[in-house]
Every structure is written in structure tokens, then in C-alpha cells.
A and B are shown apart, each in its own frame.
Chain A
Amino acid sequence: MKKKAIGHAGWLWTGLASVVAFIYFFPVLFIILTAFRSRSDTLATPPKWFFTPTFENFYHIFFRAMANSTEYVSTGFHVYFFNSIYISGMSVLLALLIGTLAAYGFSRHPLRGNDTYLFIILTTRMLPPIIVIVPIFLIFRITGLAGTYTGIILMYTAFNLPFSIWMMKSFFDELNTEIEDASRMDGASERSVFFGVCIPQVKAGLAATSVFALILTWNEFLFSLLLTNKLTRTMPPAMARTIGGEINVDYGLLAAMICLFIIPIFLITYLLQNQLLRGVTFGTIKK
């Protein structure tokens, strides 16, 4: 099908839009450039825009020189990277699974006081996490969940659920329930109505919900800082720990870490962008 032109913006508007886009992108660009600068180039004032790119920062993420020696030892950063992927991935999947089932229930089989339950679910997201961190920390200590994958995955799942339920519910609400009734008339069981009829129609919603949940989890700092240990730590607190020490802040190292850190989320968002666009504009372009 031919793409329809919505309107022809003049050069002026196009130019203005690129300027705004550039302003948004500038911090990211600066980080990327810093990642490839040598230590002396990083600290130069005014900033050096032309320099010889180096990969030494990336090398130092994984291997660090020992004090008073030329020997390099592993920093264990690959573990944190894996932890981030594993913990975010698992908790987003779990939140999506539970959230979708709950949302379908809320949408199709409303309980007495349905809206109240939905509201209560959302209240957990109305206060800053720092307020609940002490009781949660104690619970984790007592139950032995502190420092375990299970613990932090459960924490993030609970963290993502309200959002997933609300978002998926709105997608189920938008569907034409006649199609579900029709498939019941055609002999479908409730399970095949859900998996065969509803889920395929909310694919865009699943994509949008998972990307948003993934971004939230991927960047989460506080819970990970307090509820994980050396073996289960995720990237954000691990990166924070490189700040300080005898060399203060190693900006080049930090920038290189950030570059690696945004790659997975960048890829996933890019792969899902078509679904995502349909997902976030769902209500407005239907029918």
C-alpha cells in the first residue's frame, strides 16, 4: 500500500524539528563520544571534539589493573550485565503473564467493586519506593529472599504488575467482545477464546506493555542496590559503585558502561517499534 502523506511541512519546520531532536539526543551523543576518548581527552577543557578513538574504556569495564602492578584482573562486570538481562527479562515476562490474565479477568468478568480493586492495585505505585524500602528490606531479610534472584525478580514483578494490569485492561476493553461471543457460538472453549481470539488481537498491547515495563525495570536502582548482593547485582548499582575511590569519577569508564547498558533496551525497542507505535496509539486509530 502506498504511504499517505499527512502534510508537507516546510523546510523551516523540518529544520526546527531536527534542532529539537538534536537537543534531545545531545546527552546520549556526548556519552557515546566520551566512551571512546582516552582519559586525558575526557578531562580536557574545553571538551575535545576531535580525538583519536580508543577502546580502552571498554576494556577497563571488564578488566582492571591491580594497584602497584601491571596485571589485569576481571571486574566481574559480565556477571552484572547478565544479571540485568536475566532479572529484567524474567520479571517482565512474569508481570506480563500475570498482568494479562488479571487484566482479562478485570475486563471480562468484573467483580463487585471491580474499580475499587483496580484502584487499590494502583495505590502501591502512588508512593515513592524509598518509603517502603525499610519494611521490604526486613521482609527480605527474614524470609531469606535478600540477595537471591528469586527475591529481586519477585520484587520487580510486583513493581511492574499494576502498570501491566492497567495497560492490558485498556487493550482488552477496546476489543469487540462480539468476536469472542461468536467464537463461543462456533464451539470454542473459554481457554481457546482467550488464547485464540483475544491474545492475537492485543499483540501490540503486549509489545507496548513489555517495553515500558522493561525500561522501568532495566533502569531501577534503589531496590537492586539494597536487595541484591555481589552475585545478583544488576547494572545500575554496579555502575554506581565505580564512582568514588582513589580516582574519583572515571567518566570515560562510566560512559562506556552506559553505552553497553543501553544496547539491549535500544535493540528491543527498535525491534518492537512498529507494534509499539500501534500499541500507544491504539485507541485513537481503531475502526
Chain B
Amino acid sequence: MSTIELQKLTKEFGELTAVNNVSLKVEENEVLCLLGPSGCGKTTTLRMVAGLEVATSGDILIGNNNVNNLDTRDRNLAMAFQFYALYPSLTVAENLANPLHAENLSDDEIKKKIFEVADILQLKDIVNRKPHQLAEGEKQRVAVGRAIIRDPQCFLFDEPLSRLDVQLREQMRGQIKEVLSDLKKATVIVTHDQLEALTMATKIAVMRDGFIEQISTPHDIFAKPNNTFVAGFIGTPQMNILDCNIIEINSSIIKINTLGQEVNVDFKNPLNVNTNESYFLGIRPRSFEIVDNNDSDNFSGTIDLIENMGSEILVHVKINESTFRSVLSRSHKLKIGDSINLKPKIGQVHLFNKDGKVIRDE
């Protein structure tokens, strides 16, 4: 069975704890993205799964077998590396064939497999070239090809797309997703690019400072962040996180004081909060709608700055010397200095306590 399970995995480098008590499970056919800023321990976690790094404590189970004491080559995994790790002196075909040498296949079988992989990844025209004669995108495909040519238990990808330019990245994201869904194996992808994670993963684990902050589906990570870190890390432009005070609770409608304004916010469901306490209010820039009149359920301020984002505009709204940001359709004819009224969309507003933890519906 192709599963990967980590139990209380910890890795210390001297004083530094790179990975702290990480537990997670990747089921068969599931693609888990380890997502986080650089230095959060995601690559170290992946390397421990691969056996390239020895865990300080905790267990790694692959296909329900404890592999703590197995060497890399005995774990039956395949991995694609960030810098592709192609053997510089070998041709593409030889690079692809390399993982097969341990399997004692005949020459014909090896050729057949190379042909299959070259076909899937469109490498047929370049099988006789050497790595230095390849473009970045081609190198990347060879690296993926080398990972999928065998039939390992699980797949590991370390920042597979980070070295590609934006266009190529978009194209490869789709291709890799397609390849992965055909493989039906437990897969772990490490990335710092949230778009990559949101599009390719079936499950995302957001990491910070060695801890897992949240594991959920891409939808839930975006729509129901567990804390202010996840809320701020996922989604561009970043979520507005504002200090606020609760004045009055009226079922799901809560009157809060933020940026010196009192606003009635509809949370869709009642929340377990107390009046006269401080919280963080989280609203994504796209969760505002523009309204004509200044009412008790909207923010009103003046436009401080407008950034053009193509089909949309990013508006910096200033209220009492503080600003927050909102993404609006470019059809609104706005200019700097205009006053503007913005109403948060119902159910798209998040409330966090002062420790940064989300307050969920009751």
C-alpha cells in the first residue's frame, strides 16, 4: 500500500529544532503539499522521509512499515530535486535509465520504459542530449521523468517548479498534476509557492518554524484558516488583519470597533466571543463590495493609493491614519482622494483571538 505516515517527527541541528513534533498521514492517491516560508523545515521533513537525513526522534512509516532504520535505497521511493540533480556526463536517456539499474531489467525493457516516460513528458526529441544542452523546462521534465520511470511506493518532489519562469511554471503545474493523478500513489511536494500548492495538492500542510500550523484541503486552507499565520500566508494580496474591539453581539451580527469606526459585521453564524474584548479581524481584499451610501454595516474611508493589477485594481483605503487593502473590479472609476464605502461580504470575515487562533462558528 502506498501511504506515508509521520509520527511526532523531530529533527534538531544542534540548538536549532528544524522540524518539531510533526505528525501527518498521506493516503494512497493523495498529493500532500508541504507549504511554508523558507527555513520552516519543509525540505528537512521531505529529506527525512527520503532517508537522506536522520530524524532525531519520531517514526516514519511507508506503506505501514517503519522505515526509521532503512537506508535511502531500501525505502523504494522516488524523488525529484529542486536543482534537478541530473548527471552532467550522461545523456537524457541515460539519466532516465539510471534508477532502473538496481532493478535488473533487460536492455529492451529499459528502452521501453524510457520510451514510455519520454512520451508522457514530451522528451522524445532530446533523449540523446546532455543536461547542459537542455533548457530549464526540459531539465525539469527529465528530473520528473527520472522520478516516475520506476514504480516506487511513493513520490517526493522538492520545489519542483521553483526554477522555472512564470509561464513555464503554469504549464508544468498542469502537466505534473496530470502525471500525478495517473500514478495513484502517495505523493509529497515541498513548495513555498502557495499557488503551486493550491493547484496541485489534494491536501496542504502549512509549516512555520518546524511546526505544522494547519493540514487541510486547499479549499479549507483558504476559506477556513486556523490562525493569523495561515490566513496571512495564503492568498494574494494578503488578508487584512486589523485590531478590533467587540461592542455588541446580536446573534451572528457583531458590532465591532476597528480603525476607529464602529461597524456591524455579519459573520453568518453566531460566534463564541465576549464584548469589550480585543480580537483580530481578518478580511481578504477580495471580500469587500463597494456600496453607495455610508451605513452602519460598512467601512468608509478615503482612497490613498490605487495599484493596477490587470483585470482588477488594488485599492489602499485610509481610515484614521491606518490603511487596509481591497481588490475591486476595474469597472469602478475611482481616483486617489475619493471617499469610498466598503461592505464586507457575509460569511467571508474571520475573527481571531489575541493569540492568533481562529474563532469558529458555534
Contacts and interface: CB of A to CB of B under 8 A. Distances in A.
Specify whether A and B are partners: yes
Interface string B46-72: 010011100000000000000000011
A19 interface: no
Contact of A182 (B47, B51, B79, B101): B79
A187 B101 contact: yes
A181 B73 CA distance: 10
Contacts of A200: 89
Contacts of B84: 178
A20 to B, nearest CB: 36
A188 interface: yes
Nearest to B100: A186
Given A181-B52, A200-B89, A186 B83 contact: no
Contact of B85 (A176, A187, A188, A189): A176
Contacts of A201: 88
Central interface residue in B77, B87, B146, by most chain A CB within 10 Å = B87
A188 B72 CA distance: 9
Contacts of B78: 185
A78 interface: no
A185 B77 contact: yes
A183 B98 CA distance: 8
A146 B69 CA distance: 50
Central interface residue in A178, A179, A200, by most chain B CB within 10 Å = A178
A125 interface: no
A207 B88 CA distance: 19
B302 interface: no
A184 B52 contact: yes
Contacts of B79: 181-182, 185
Given A185-B78, A200-B89, A178 B83 contact: yes
A161 B205 CA distance: 49
Nearest to A179: B85
B261 interface: no
B115 interface: no
Interface string B233-268: 000000000000000000000000000000000000
A151 to B, nearest CB: 41
Interface in B143-200: 146
Contacts of A197: 87
Interface string A187-203: 11100000001001100
A186 B98 contact: yes
Contacts of A183: 87, 98
B142 to A, nearest CB: 11
Contacts of B83: 176, 178
A186 B145 CA distance: 13
A39 to B, nearest CB: 56
B202 interface: no
B324 interface: no
A178 B99 CA distance: 15
Given A179-B87, A181-B52, A200-B89, A187 B81 contact: no
9 cross-chain pairs, A with B, having the tightest CB-CB distances, nearest first: A187-B102, A182-B85, A178-B85, A186-B99, A184-B72, A187-B73, A178-B81, A179-B85, A185-B79
Given A186-B99, A186-B102, 4 more contacts: A176-B85, A178-B81, A181-B81, A185-B50
Interface of A: 176, 178-179, 181-189, 197, 200-201
13 contacts: A176-B83, A178-B81, A178-B83, A178-B85, A181-B79, A181-B85, A184-B51, A185-B73, A185-B77, A186-B98, A186-B99, A188-B73, A197-B87
